[in-house]
Amino acid sequence: MAVEHSTGTSVPAPGDQTRIHNIGYRSYDGPRLGRAYARRSLYSQSLRGSYGLGRSVKSKVLPMLLFVVMCVPAAIMVAVAVATKANALPVDYTRYAIVMQAVISLYVASQAPQSVSRDLRFKTVPLYFSRPIETADYVLAKFAALASALFILTAGPLLVLYVGALLAKLDFADQTKGFAQGLVSVALLSLLFAGIGLVIASFTPRRGFGIAAVIAVLTITYGAVSTLQAIADAQGSSGAVPWIGLFSPITIIDGVQSAFLGATSAFPGGVGPSNAEGVAYVLLALGLIAASYGLLMRRYKKVGL
Amino acid sequence: MYDPTVARLTYRALLGRRRALILGALPLLLIAISVVVRFLAGADDQTAADLLGGLALATMVPIIGVIAGTGAIGPEIDDGSVVYLLSKPIKRPTIIFTKLIVAIAVTMVFSAVPTLIAGFILNGNGQQVAVAYTVAALVASIAYAALFLLLGTVSRHAVVFGLVYALVWEALFGSLVPGARTLSVQQWALAVAQKVSGGDLVTSDVGLTTATVLLVAVTALATWYAGQKLRSLTLAGEE
């Protein structure tokens, strides 16, 4: 208020000096793109961010490296199959993700906190919610983005295998069926892993801690479950093996695909769940995905606001 | 060389609030699994060795080592609050050494102690299995803490690199390429454990002398280099 110089002796009555200046602000009258557009933008920005696109070079290294590590074994297998004129691929489409689970877990662990923890730490969440988007939009966009990124990571090598199998002149119908089954299985895996990763990551603003927590949940449960299964199998109580498999994300996927998607199980003894037990697996997988969505919604109902 | 105030702050950073609960969940899971296995399989030395070797030493110790080792210094560097610590008249190597002691202590408490308990639950220390794996966990704790503390000062992505080393290098390459096992903290620790147990349940691919030399060398070098890194630390902005 630079005008308030005390120039004279008499103080003028308040109200004489107050006036409203029109300094030329104009209201926006262009098109409003709305919620759906904001949600789509958040989705594409998060998806690109999961592979480091639009971020610094340093943050591109790890996701790209993991993607290459996922695809290289598939390329080698294809090359071997073409060169030796084999009549089948060395690894089933459905088995590939199970074999490479360490890489997938590392990817989820590194990218899930990247996606949500930094928003919490730098308190940008309230800024998102000052836009037209609502909690459900934010959660959906982040969930869908990480699931899509995971799907790219897991379906990429399957595509390599499929194209290679066709080049090696393997049976078209047979390969297409296997490829489709593999895609369904990795889609389920992507949703499940993305949900688990995001729920854990959204509870800590510390990126490092989020990474360790996600990897601990994914690998320790797998280690525990496979150890218990091996012991149960060795003790002759094979009936317990499928039920133990319900306690770790990757064995849930394994169970679902060996019950319904024609995969051979990686469980000890090679006995997957029967159809009835498979229903429990599917229900649990879908339940976990729904639960992680619900937990994320609950978490973002109050965070930062 | 040991500064109690820095140690107290580091303990708080590692175990404060709910973090101790999360760190404690892993050992509890191990003990719970041991109880289940004991009921399922009874006391069996081979089972005990498999479980302690596969789950405790190969998975739990590295993960707790990563959390404690990088967590002792990483977050401070990450959010820039390490400048307040560095601006105090304390030698940088002293800071590193103190943080290392804390990281080792935390890793030992949360990995070696549960290993011992799990071992006794599994087979009551038959053939010295529990003690051997506890010694391995203790030795590995020191080396892991030093390595991951160094990673924490070198890289902002220390946790990821630590996990890549622990899970991909040691577990995946170690099982595929025999040569990779020579360069694995886990195998060095197993060599020491083999000496303790004396039986053929605990085996390592590395000789005891090599293992001891490498363990001491890696721990000392990592600590020294971490001190050097901290002396010339530049604070980068958030990417």
ipTM score:
0.78
The SS3 assignment for A114 reads helix
Q: How far apart are CA B57 and CA B190, in angstroms?
A: 9
Most confident of A196-210, A283-297, B6-20, B26-40: A283-297
pLDDT tens for B45-93 read 777 888 888 888 888 898 899 888 988 888 888 777 888 888 888 888 8
**Residue of chain B whose Cα is closest to the Cα of A222:** B55
Residue A6 has pLDDT above 50, yes or no: no
Contacts of residue A288, defined as CB under 8 A and 6 or more positions apart, other chains included, come to A192, A195, A196, A249, A252
* Minimal Cβ distance to A232: which of B29, B40, B63: B40
* Minimal Cβ distance to A216: which of B26, B58, B156: B26
Give the pLDDT confidence score for residue A2 in this predicted structure. 45
Q: Token pair for residue A212?
A: 């360790």
**Token match 């959204």: residue?**
A202
**What's the whole-number mean pLDDT along residues B227-231?**
86
**Residue of chain A whose Cα is closest to the Cα of B41:** A235
pLDDT tens for A96-123 read 998 888 889 999 999 999 888 888 888 8
Q: Count CB neighbours of A41 within 10 A.
A: 14
pLDDT tens for B126-151 read 778 888 889 999 999 999 999 999 99
pLDDT tens for A184-199 read 999 999 999 999 999 9
**Residue of chain B whose Cα is closest to the Cα of A111:** B160
Give the pLDDT confidence score for residue A3 in this predicted structure. 46
**What's the whole-number mean pLDDT along residues A137-141?**
93
**What's the whole-number mean pLDDT along residues A53-81?**
89
Side-chain half-sphere exposure of A220, counting CA atoms within 13 A? 24
pLDDT tens for A227-240 read 888 888 877 777 77
**Token match 């081979």: residue?**
B46
Contacts of residue A112, defined as CB under 8 A and 6 or more positions apart, other chains included, come to A146, A194, A197, A198, A200, A201, A210, A214
Structural domain spans, chain B:
4-231
Phi, psi of A51 (to 5 degrees): -110, 15
pTM: predicted TM-score of the whole model, two decimal places: 0.83
Chain A residue numbers touching B63 (CB-CB < 8 A): 212, 215-216, 219-220
Give the pLDDT confidence score for residue A138 in this predicted structure. 92
Chain A residue numbers touching B29 (CB-CB < 8 A): 220, 224
**What's the whole-number mean pLDDT along residues B12-31?**
83
Distance between alpha carbon A268 and the CA centroid of its chain, in Å? 28
Q: Lowest-pLDDT range, A47-61, B97-111, B165-179?
A: B165-179
- Is A127's Cβ below 8 Å from some Cβ in B? no
Chain B residue numbers touching A110 (CB-CB < 8 A): 157, 160
* Minimal Cβ distance to A224: which of B55, B157, B168: B55
**Token match 């695809």: residue?**
A71
Give the pLDDT confidence score for residue A8 in this predicted structure. 46
